[in-house]
Structure 1
Amino acid sequence: MSNFLRITEVMKMTGIAKSTIWLWVKEEKFPKPIKLSPRITVWDEDSINEWKKEIQC
């Protein structure tokens, strides 16, 4: 089972700015987040790792 990551953790893991992450989510270039509550949004760590592997190829 993978972990859930908040936006700051995703930023550290990918080296991508917050605004770019949200832009790429909107453009479907980055994995979609999971909405846990109205104020809590997370990403599945496995989906981020898969995305990183895809862009390296």
Structure 2
Amino acid sequence: MRMPSVMQMTGLGRSTIYRLMARQQFPCPVRLGVRAVAWRRSELDVWSQTRPAISH
């Protein structure tokens, strides 16, 4: 999945996704080319099922 789809699926913004990746709290993407990356849907599904619920 490319970034726009990941953002839509997770409800997170680009900066938040990269911040979580830096903290090793979000799946890392797979490099498709020199300037292109994508995420595996299966890894995002596991991440979304195991992440803690956000309380307000």
TM-score category (smaller protein):
0.7 to 0.9
Whichever of the two has the greater Rg, that structure is 2
Cα deviation, 1:15-54, whole Å, max 9, x if unaligned, reads: 0000000111111000011011111110000000000000
Q: Which runs of 4+ in 1 moved over 3 A?
A: none
Q: Give the percent of matched residue pairs that are identical in Structure 1 and Structure 2.
A: 30
**1:54 matched to 2:54:** no
Q: In the TM superposition, what are the counterparts of 1:9-24 in structure 2 within 5 Å?
A: 9-24=5-20
> How many residues are aligned here?
53
What is the CA–CA distance in structure 1 between the aligned matches of 2:18 and 2:37, rounded to whole Å? Answer: 12
Aligned-residue Cα RMSD (Å) equals 1.2
Whichever structure has more strand as a proportion of its residues is: 1
Q: Which runs of 5+ in 2 are unaligned?
A: none
Q: Which runs of 5+ in 1 are unaligned?
A: none
Q: In the TM superposition, what are the counterparts of 1:7-46 in structure 2 within 5 Å?
A: 7-46=3-42
Q: Give the alignment's TM-score, normalised by structure 2.
A: 0.88
